[in-house]
Chains A and B, each alone.
Chain A
């Protein structure tokens, strides 16, 4: 009964393909996030949604499109994958927008060949 889960755990794909990563939280939280961790382990926020509404979009290329069908899910769709998209993508959630502690998923390791 994982609190924040992501699928798939590993994703290997060719340049130019379109792929999606799914995230679900069963904590009843209102706010969800996507982070990218590069090969040097640097973590940077990409998006944040609060009750299905986009509240943070950190100058991410528009090839990345988050979708929140309900407040328990925040999926990340990536079009026209590039080599530089290879990274670990983490989903996280917090109880509400102003609630500071974030709970992270296990990560999705994306490798673009």
Chain B
């Protein structure tokens, strides 16, 4: 079953602006990951945050995790046209294994 909902479904911003995407999930997690998918391509892993972490940074990416609210956010700062893609959150549950359960995705468009 679907784990996460992402918000917004679509986001259009100007180059240089920040983009924030939110993800909510339903069950207890081991970790939460964000992936990017360019149109017609496979998914690329961006960042992983564990359940005992609250914030993580990687370059222009900042991820937060609030396990009490079962939510995460991905912030892309100083966006570029090349950031145009779909962004998915995915969770790994506490039940063992390494099954990724994906959210619904946010389509980001960065315009020049």
Report A's interface with B, CB cutoff 8 A.
4, 31, 33, 35, 40-45, 48, 55-56, 58, 90, 92, 94, 97-107
Contact = CB atoms under 8 A, between A and B. Distances in A.
The DSSP consensus for interface residues of chain B is: strand
Interface string B74-112: 000000000000101010100001111110110000000
Range class of the B interface residue count? 20 to 34
Contacts of B98: 31, 48, 94, 97-100, 102
Interface of B: 2, 30-31, 33, 35, 37, 40-45, 48, 86, 88, 90, 92, 97-102, 104-105
Contacts of B42: 4, 90, 104-107
20 contacts: A33-B100, A35-B100, A42-B102, A42-B104, A43-B43, A45-B101, A55-B97, A58-B99, A90-B42, A90-B43, A92-B43, A94-B98, A97-B97, A99-B98, A100-B31, A100-B98, A101-B48, A102-B98, A102-B100, A104-B44
